[in-house]
Amino acid sequence: MDSKKFDHFRKKLMEKKEELFQTVSKTEQYGREADEDSTQDIADKAANSYTKEFLFSQSSNERFILQLVNEALARVEKGTFGYCISCENEIQQKRLEAVPWTRHCISCQEMQEQGLLEE
């Protein structure tokens, strides 16, 4: 991969990182505000804790992607970005465009989803 492409993906990853970071911190702030609101009755509180649980499950997924994005950025710096971390083959360009933080090529990804691949 040439440096132009590295720059392209670095930019994409940085944008995604910023976006995820915003969402994750917003969720955390919402959680704190809901806790501090003492005017709620019991029904409100129940609804709130449900919403919170939902938001936190959302945000743990986002946190996970954020971690993948950080790892991908580290691979850009090392110059190994764009290669499958498992079989070391080049990852399809189309796949990188869609999911630039992906760690695996499509065939390793499929194996991983079936539980056939060691991390």
Whole-angstrom Cα distance, residue 99 to residue 78? 19
Whole-angstrom Cα distance, residue 61 to residue 58? 5
90 beta partners: 83
Name which of 31, 24, 95 is nearest 66 in CA terms: 24
Name which of 58, 64, 3 is nearest 26 in CA terms: 58
If one asks whether residue 1 binds Zn ion (CB under 5 A), the answer comes out as no
Q: How far is the CB of 116 from Zn ion (least distance, A)?
A: 12
Whole-angstrom Cα distance, residue 59 to residue 52? 10
Residue at token pair 């939902």? 54
Judged by CB under 5 A, which of 72, 73, 84, 96 binds Zn ion? 84
Judged by CB under 5 A, which of 87, 99, 111, 117 binds Zn ion? 87
- Looking at beta carbons only, is 70 or 86 nearer to Zn ion? 86
Judged by CB under 5 A, which of 23, 86, 92, 112 binds Zn ion? 86
Site string (33-72) toward Zn ion, x via CB under 5 A = ----------------------------------------
- Looking at beta carbons only, is 66 or 84 nearer to Zn ion? 84
Using CB under 5 A, list all residues that contact Zn ion: 84, 86-87, 105, 108
